Amino acid sequence: MSQHLIPRASKLRYIEGQKYRSVESFWAMCNLRPHREINLHNINLTRDGMFYLTPGYSSDGPSGPTIDTRDFMPGAMGWHDPCYELLRYEMMHIEVDIIQPPSRPGEGVIYHTKPEDKIIRNASHEQIREEVDKFLADILLLDNMWRFRARYVYEGVRKGGLSSASVCTKVYAAP
């Protein structure tokens, strides 16, 4: 039997961790205001804070010691995972302002915002990550997650989420 050669790269490089895929658009008005529109794969963030995912976005869903419940999926897959992906790929480093609304569901219940943080110009990576985590808590509360669990999730991403929002460095190779 003759061996047929197929021209191809010698290795496939990939990352792990996708388990869900969106089948329709999902959007939310957020507090992030990039100085120019951000587009990465199926993730979009406009200058006026319209955050949306197009069909086909893939996510591993809620992470940590938790279960993937319906009150967790919009916050985790529809907001937190894609924002952390933007942070990992440094797409948020194009200068982003954070503009806080007058009131928020999680303010005083899960987290606190200092008066000087109501408007942050050219936010740092960590300030953006903190805002992403706060907005996650807001979505969880709006989706009727128990306060205790929403607080647990928020504290978990604040303490353990930094590595997930850091620049991607681990690349796998096969075979």
Average per-residue pLDDT in the chain? Answer: 88
Domain spans, the chain: 16-168
> For the segment 156-170, what is each residue's pLDDT rounded down to a tens digit?
999 988 888 787 677
- For residue 56, CA distances in Å to 47, 60, 78, 140 come to 23, 13, 12, 23
Burial of 175 per CB tally in 10 Å (0-12, 13-18, 19+): exposed
Identify any residues that bridge with 39 across adjacent strands, giving them in sequence order: 44
Predicted local distance difference test score (pLDDT) of residue 4: 64
pLDDT on residue 8: 65
Helices and strands in the chain: count of H runs, count of E runs: 5, 11
Q: What pLDDT is stored for residue 64 in this prediction? A: 80
Q: Which residue has the tokens 């899960």?
A: 110
Q: Tell me, what's the pLDDT at 134?
A: 97
CA 153/CA 159 separation, integer angstroms: 10
pLDDT band for position 86 (cuts 50, 70, 90): very high
Report residue 15's pLDDT band, with 50, 70 and 90 as the boundaries. Answer: low
